[in-house]
Amino acid sequence: MPYKLLFVCLGNICRSPSAENIMNHLIAQAELSDSIICDSAGTSSYHIGSPPDRRMSAAANQKLGIKLRGQARQFLKSDFQDFDLILAMDRDNYENILMLDPSQQYHHKVRLMCDFCSRHTLKEVPDPYYGGPEGFNQVIDLLVDACEGLLNNILSQELNN
């Protein structure tokens, strides 16, 4: 059974698809594509069906040489069962996800993305949507750090079991 990760932000067009694609890039480099599967979603319904934001795509391409793939979808209650780990980009996303689990049955599966950073001290991935290009570049840097930490964590915790 592959280990399944779900990255969640508000609209699923900037931060969470970037995290999903960066993580897939790292997983492919580590030749673990059969062992770890990634997806992303948004807590809102604003952008359902939309591709990743073009400014986010430009930053990912410029900094990492990767193309952001995907289509925005909304987080579903069934995602709690379907995924092993759900990674919220910020505190608001985290709270919104937990509100969909009133029994607290799945709270242990939900974490903040920045918990896995080793180089950055920010506790949340800021939403770059209304800012300039530097915001998108910062998100890529943060997510590379967090994804590397997350992959190391999964390798030490999960795939050795």
CA distance 52 to 36: 22
* Beta-bridge partner residues of 3: 36
**Average confidence (pLDDT) over 25-44:** 97
What's phi and psi for 73, nearest 5 deg?
-140, 165
Question: For 55-92, what is each residue's pLDDT tens digit?
Answer: 999 999 999 999 999 999 999 999 999 999 999 999 99
Q: Which of 39, 53, 127, 145 is catalytic?
A: 127
- 15: annotated active-site residue: yes
Instruction: Please give the Cα distance from 83 to 116 (Å, whole number).
Output: 18
- Residue 127 bears catalytic tag: yes
Cα torsion 76, 80, 85, 88: sign: positive
Choose the catalytic residue: 14, 15, 38, 39: 15
9 part of the active site: yes
Instruction: Give pLDDT tens digits for 142-157.
Output: 999 999 999 999 999 8
What is the residue whose two structure tokens read 């570049």? Answer: 137
Among residues 9, 14, 38, 117, the one annotated as catalytic is: 9
Q: Where are the alpha helices (DSSP H) in the chain?
A: 15-29, 54-64, 79-82, 91-99, 133-157
Q: State percent of the chain over pLDDT 70.
A: 98
